[in-house]
Amino acid sequence: MSGVAVLAVTPMIAAMAEKRAKRGATASRALKVRVKTARGRSAASTRWLERQLNDPYVAHARDAGYRARSAFKLIEIDDRYHVLAPGKRVVDLGAAPGGWSRVAAERVRSTEADPRVVAVDYLDMDPLPGVVVIKKDFLDDDAPEVIRAALGGHPADVVLSDMAAPTTGHRRTDHLRTIHLCEVAADFAVSVLSPGGHFVAKVFRGGTEGELLALLKRRFTSVHHVKPPASRAESVELYLVAKGFRGTQDD
């Protein structure tokens, strides 16, 4: 993965792993679960279930109260690139079930009295402390206006997107569909970010398409492809971190 930053496991994640290890042999056995194929369950479903049961990040997410293991991907990215700082305003696109939104709220110190995180999804999402949940397609014409209103009339400092198109099993097709989601998320970010803001989005291995990468390099001071430890080694996903939005005046 030339040009991709492969992040090290952060102290927080290492500490959680050590804590679980100290629970003894029972916990160790629990992380080596084999699942038998049951009637009505496909072999693929069985493999997925077995992987979930043996995935330490799934266990860590459950211990920490996060709604999804993907929360640790954002934690690891932010520990390296520092995109979430206290007081920043954040928009989380495709936010359900809310793993990234909770991490963002914790790190920018968003509260019920002063909410600084807006979670946007056309799917239902349960409430989170310090997070304004908007059930909406972010591609709707009025979405930027609605989101800015939810941020108290202010532009966003950070736009996050952990969205991925449903996979087809055809790598090139899946890559192109997810790149398209990243493209529309980037267009949205450009429309709502304040100067100096940051954009974090999922892409698939193969990198970012030339036109999108050119746009981001023109609009941001630095652009990185990142593989956080919480992203499974066999997964083709990468994350794009674009820092230092230049504003919209330089076309």
Show which residues are catalytic: 202
Query: Rounded to an integer, what distance in angstroms lies between the CA atom of residue 139 and that of residue 161?
Result: 13
CA dist 44 and 237 (Å) reads 19
Nearest partner of 158 among 194, 115, 105, judged by Cα: 194
| Beta carbons within 8 Å of 246's beta carbon, 6+ residues apart | 195, 218, 219, 220, 221
Beta-sheet pairing, 193-204 with 220-227:
unpaired
Residue 137 CB partners (closer than 8 Å, separation 6+): 122, 143
Question: 43: left (phi > 0), else alpha (psi -120 to 50), else beta?
Answer: alpha
CA distances from 26 to 20, 21, 32, 42, 50 (A): 10, 10, 10, 29, 18
